[in-house]
Structure 1
């Protein structure tokens, strides 16, 4: 077991924000899985790195690239991490359709790369999340 650090978690998200597959693959495993919460067009499992990158590209497209995750806290133990973020964005072409929620991402790591992630949204944030992506 390797101890995950806050720096590794930040580096993984920073790589993801570049949209560059080679850079993303330095931090996210090819065989990774990601569970998107909710009941909307984006919800469900993304079963490999390409599906996850496609999901993130769709988030960018649907939000007019306004979607952002602002880090609040990162916790880690052994091969796991959990990060709390404030997620904010506007729906593309609909400036009054706003996403403004707090989220926890639970990540499992192997050999310094994320191999599984799950998002969790709390309270009325789940309803807002589903309505935003509907």
Structure 2
């Protein structure tokens, strides 16, 4: 069995970049099919997503809500063992409502196994959770 790829900042960046490919085979090089993803807050998209189908469904819903405008800029990425933490600045404009935007700081806690993310949790800073909830409402 081949050794798992080295977990470093470049691998974390590549994992997020894979999501934009739309190619499930590429995505599953970085994201485990058994992934569990938790989205903060009490909105219609908040909660726990289990498995690749649910996770990709969540991302699809976010794409629809934002008309594909959701952008994420890395502030920093920290890697230690099988854990990576990505701090991001996320912006988006609501579909069919250019005056309704989102501009939040978020942290993603990512647990990795065999070179792929098996668990992810998102949390927002300051008023970010409320701002996110209003954006997706």
Structure 1 length normalisation: TM-score?
A: 0.96
CA contact (8 A) 2:6 2:115 kept: no
* 1:118 partnered with 2:121: yes
Structure 1, unmatched stretches of 5+, are: none
Give the superposition deviation at 1:73. 0.4
CA contact (8 A) 1:85 1:102 kept: yes
Give the superposition deviation at 1:4. 2.0
Q: Deviations over 1:40-81 (max 9, x none)?
A: 010000000111011101111110000011111000100000
> Once superposed, what is the RMSD of the aligned Cα atoms?
1.3
Taking the aligned partners of 1:76 and 1:89, their CA distance within structure 2 comes to: 27
What is aligned with 1:101? 104
Taking the aligned partners of 1:45 and 1:22, their CA distance within structure 2 comes to: 23
Structure 2 length normalisation: TM-score?
A: 0.94
What is aligned with 1:42? 45
What is aligned with 1:61? 64
Structure 2, unmatched stretches of 5+, are: none
- How many residues align structurally? 134
Give the superposition deviation at 1:3. 5.7
Hey, which bits of structure 1, 4+ residues long, moved more than 4 A? none
What is aligned with 2:78? 75
User: Given the alignment, which residue of 6, 27, 31 partners 2:9?
Assistant: 6
